[in-house]
Structure 1
C-alpha cells in the first residue's frame, strides 16, 4: 500500500502532463514557459531549501558518494565502450544508461517513502550528479570524435540553476547564517510548486517523442532499470558505514528512469531514436520496476 501511495501520485502527474501535451491543451509557448520557470525557479528553490536545512555531516559521506558513483562510472564506461565498438564513434548511450531522473522522480519518491530526513542523501548525490556525468560525456564526445575540448562548455555545467540552488543552500548551511522568516516562507511556497510542475513538464516532454522501441533502446532500458540499481545494491552492501536508509535512497535513485536532459547531448540523427525511446520506455517501465526495488529494499 505504501508503495502504491508513492508511485501513483508521481506517475499520475506524469500522465496528466502527457495528456496535456498529447491533446495540445497547453500551447507550446505556455509549456515552454512552464518548463522554464520550473527549472529556473521552482526546482532550485526546493533544492536550496532542502540542503540549507539538511545535516550535511550525515549526507556528505565519502562511502555514500563512492557507493553511487562507482557503479555510475562502471555503467557509463561499459555501455560507452560497447556502443563505440558497434558504432565506431562517440554516442550518448552510456549517459542514457547511467543518468537518472533523480530530481523529477527521485525527490518525490524518497520524500513519500522514506521521509524528508532522507533527502539529505539525495542532495549529496545531486551536488555531483550532473556535473560528473555531463563533464564525462563532454570529454568523451570531444576525444571520441576528434573535437577540441571546450572549457567554456564544461563550465556551463556549473551554471545550471539546479546546481546553483544546491551550492547556495550548502553555503548558507555551512555559514551558520539564517534567513528572515518571511524569506523562508517565500522559498517554501516556491518549493511547494516544484514537484507537481516538474512532473507535469516531464509528461509534456514525453508526449513529444514517439515510442519506437528497438533492441538497442530495450537493452539500455534494462541496464538502466535493472543492472545499474543492482550494482548499487551490491556495492553499497559491500562498503562499510552505510545504514539501510542510505542504501535504500541510493538504490531508488539508481532505479529511476533515464533523465530527459540526456537528449541535449544527441548529435547524430540515428542516436535520437535510441535515446528518446530509452527515456520514454524507462519512464513507463519504471512504474513496474520501482515498486519491485522498493519491496526488495524493504525486505
Structure 2
C-alpha cells in the first residue's frame, strides 16, 4: 500500500495545488483556459507521439489489453442505456451520467502508470490511450445522438470535431511512425520528448483548477449511478477480467488504473456544447476526482495483493 500511495500521492498533490490555484484565481481567470488548450492540442499529443513512436509495443499484450478494457467499457455502455428508463433521467442528465461512467481522465492515467511502472508503464498507458480514446469519444457522441440532444447542425460539428481530435491524431501518428520504422529521427525525438514532459504535471494542475466544489451539493440518482459504475463496478469487472485472461502485472495495473479513473474534465465542455446537463457533469468530475484519491490506491493494493 505504501508503494502505491507513494507513487500516486505526488499526482494528487498536484491536483490539489491546481484546486487551490483555481480557488484563489491565480494567475488569472484567462490563464487556465488557454493553458488547457496548449496541453490538449500540443503538449499531451507530443507525449503520446514520443512514447508510441519509439516504444517497443511487443512488450504490451495489445489484444488481451483491448479485450479487457474495451470489453468493460462496452458492457457498461449497454447496461447504462438499458437502465435509462429505470434511472428516470431526462435526456440531458442521462448523457452526463453516461460520460461520468465511461470517460476517464487521461492525464491522471498516464501519470499514474508512469509513476507505478516507469517507462513500461508509460508505454502501456499510451497503448491504452490509443485503444480507448477513439472508442470512448464515439460512444459518448453516440449517446448524445441517441438521447436526442443534438440538432442536425450540431451532429455534423460533432463528427468533424471527432475526426480532428488531437489525441486520436497523435496516437495514429505515433503508431505510423513506429510501424514504419521511421521513429523520431535526429533532434525531433528530443524536441517532442521535451514537449511531452511538460504535459503531465501541467495537466494534473489543470485537473485541479477545473474542480467545482460547490457542485458537490448536487447528489441524486444519476450521480450515484455514475459514481458506482466508475469507481466500483468498472474496476471490479476489469480486475476480474485481467486475472481471467492472464494479464501481466504491469498491463493489469494499467487496465485497472484506467478503469478506476475519475471521468475527464473535458466532459464538462462536451456537455455544454452538445446539450448535456453541465451542472451534473461538474458534480461528477469534482466528486469522482476527490473520491478517486481514496479508491485508486485501494484498488491497486487489492490487485497487488
Same fold (TM over 0.5): yes
Which consecutive residues of structure 2, in runs of 5 or more, have no partner in the other structure?
A: none
Q: Deviations over 1:62-82 (max 9, x none)?
A: 221011111111112212332
Q: Offset of 1:114 from its aligned partner? A: 1.6
Matched, 1:69 2:75: no
C-alpha spacing 1:158/1:119, structure 2 compared with 1 (3 Å): farther
Q: Deviations over 1:10-45 (max 9, x none)?
A: 111111111111111221221122111111111111
Instruction: State the distance in 1 between where 2:208 and 2:53 align.
Output: 29
Matches within 5 A, 1:71-220: 71-85=72-86, 86-87=88-89, 89=91, 91-92=94-95, 93-101=97-105, 103-145=106-148, 148=152, 150=155, 153-207=158-212, 210-216=215-221, 217-220=223-226
Greater mean alpha carbon deviation, residues 87-96 or residues 2-11? 87-96
Q: Offset of 1:115 from its aligned partner? A: 1.7
- The count of corresponding residues between Structure 1 and Structure 2 is 297
* Contact 1:127 1:166 (8 Å CA) reproduced: yes
C-alpha spacing 1:275/1:225, structure 2 compared with 1 (3 Å): same
Give SS of 2:210's match.
helix
Give SS of 2:172's match.
helix
Greater mean alpha carbon deviation, residues 183-192 or residues 214-223? 214-223
Instruction: State the distance in 1 between where 2:144 and 2:14 align.
Output: 34
Q: Offset of 1:129 from its aligned partner? A: 1.9
C-alpha spacing 1:158/1:120, structure 2 compared with 1 (3 Å): farther
Could you tell me which residue of structure 1 aligns to residue 271 of structure 2?
A: 266
Greater mean alpha carbon deviation, residues 26-35 or residues 251-260? 26-35
* Contact 1:213 1:281 (8 Å CA) reproduced: no
Give SS of 1:25's match.
coil
Give SS of 1:26's match.
coil
Give SS of 1:206's match.
coil
Give SS of 1:32's match.
helix
Which consecutive residues of structure 1, in runs of 5 or more, have no partner in the other structure?
A: none
* Contact 2:46 2:196 (8 Å CA) reproduced: yes
C-alpha spacing 1:221/1:88, structure 2 compared with 1 (3 Å): closer
Q: Offset of 1:151 from its aligned partner? A: 5.2
Q: Offset of 1:242 from its aligned partner? A: 2.4
Instruction: State the distance in 1 between where 2:9 and 2:83 align.
Output: 36
Q: Offset of 1:269 from its aligned partner? A: 8.0
* Contact 2:133 2:167 (8 Å CA) reproduced: no
Q: Offset of 1:49 from its aligned partner? A: 0.6
Instruction: State the distance in 1 between where 2:276 and 2:123 align.
Output: 39
Instruction: State the distance in 1 between where 2:160 and 2:148 align.
Output: 20
Matches within 5 A, 1:225-240: 225-239=231-245
* Contact 2:50 2:184 (8 Å CA) reproduced: no
Q: Offset of 1:289 from its aligned partner? A: 0.5
Instruction: State the distance in 2 between where 1:291 and 1:169 align.
Output: 30
* Contact 2:253 2:303 (8 Å CA) reproduced: yes
Q: TM-score, normalised by structure 1?
A: 0.91
C-alpha spacing 1:209/1:104, structure 2 compared with 1 (3 Å): farther
Q: Offset of 1:238 from its aligned partner? A: 2.0
Give SS of 1:122's match.
helix
Could you tell me which residue of structure 2 aligns to residue 55 of structure 1?
A: 56
